[in-house]
Structure 1
């Protein structure tokens, strides 16, 4: 899969760096080991963060800044990493979906990047383009119905939008039968070292909890 970063994104975030992570997996309804890692990280967050200081995490702060630059209110349309960590700090459990989705959520909160997890076999075409949502552009967020993505960064395949930092699309979502995982990491803070570390972390989690094989990643800007 080829990734193109549009001029729209480069103009508001010239330092952007992303990673395309790909691995073949076996999904499962639940992984106790993975949830042990999620719970330990949640405990750490509750000891070190508040709902205000979490906004200072570099990946979250940079994503919020890009939202504003694109014309979107980040407090109304929260980046996913911020929403997930905020939920933990409020004493709530993260939603348990399936092992792959839970894995992607863990990887997101661990590094503060709003990342997209997709069933790669559901993409249309061989290219994804990162641009900005347009007025009236159709988009069905996972479990959220129609979302107004005007002013949100959005990845599009040959058919239309598949992922934003707020919500991925129902059309390409991970389900119980997903065997070909693609994860896109959005480093709006420009920290390539952290983006690479996040990519390697995802591959390791997939190997540990989803029998991952043939895993790889590449950086794009």
Structure 2
């Protein structure tokens, strides 16, 4: 499977880059207590760190809000998922445990202040393109809402859009039955490729430590 960035997106955000990790023969289950404990403790620490902070002023959040604006998305109405998570913690609305893959993605997102997506490879049809949605792009999101994706950053396969750093679709969502997965790491455009490679390598190794199987990753830019 090939992952590409459309020329439309490149023209608007020339420094756009994304980490792509593919996992095979993994075992997704209820999160181990170690992960649950780290996720809860980290959220509590973040609450104290950001209790009186303007979330929009956090550098990584500010950069992703700017990227949304470049694409044509109003970040005050459609917040990047990394900002949405941090705002929940600021209100002490701590994240519920789902399963090991989603919980680890949430941990990564909070730690590095970037959006991430995780998708069931068996439910993706053909190659994946990251692009900007148009009026015909929509899907039923994991929050049960039918979402219009016009002027939003999306990932798309032959069947249409399935992911976004705003909120992902139900169609390709990962479950405990998933054995092969695609992870998209929405890196800060300003991040150097060398730094991005180290970050994605670290994420992939930790994901593999918890889920087993095989992992391969690369940076697309």
TM-score, reference length from structure 2: 0.91
Contact 1:17 1:190 in 2 (8 A): no
Q: Which residue of 1 aligns with 2:150?
A: 150
Spell out the pairing of 1:16-165 with structure 2 (5 A cutoff).
16-24=16-24, 25-50=26-51, 52-125=53-126, 127-165=127-165
SS in 1 for 2:78: coil
Structure 1: which 4+ aligned runs deviate by more than 4 Å? Answer: none
Contact 2:36 2:97 in 1 (8 A): no
* Structure 1 residue runs without a partner (length 5+): none
- Write the distance in 2 (CA, Å) between the matches of 1:89 and 1:28: 28
Contact 2:208 2:214 in 1 (8 A): no
* Structure 2 residue runs without a partner (length 5+): none
Q: CA deviation at 1:40?
A: 2.6
Query: Residues 174, 137 of structure 1: CA spacing in aligned structure 2 closer, same or farther, 3 A cutoff?
Result: same
TM-score, reference length from structure 1: 0.91
Q: CA deviation at 1:21?
A: 0.7
- Write the distance in 1 (CA, Å) between the matches of 2:140 and 2:52: 28
CA-to-aligned-CA distance 1:32-65 (integer Å, 9 cap, x gap): 1111121232133123224744333443222211
- Write the distance in 2 (CA, Å) between the matches of 1:59 and 1:155: 21
- Write the distance in 1 (CA, Å) between the matches of 2:49 and 2:181: 32
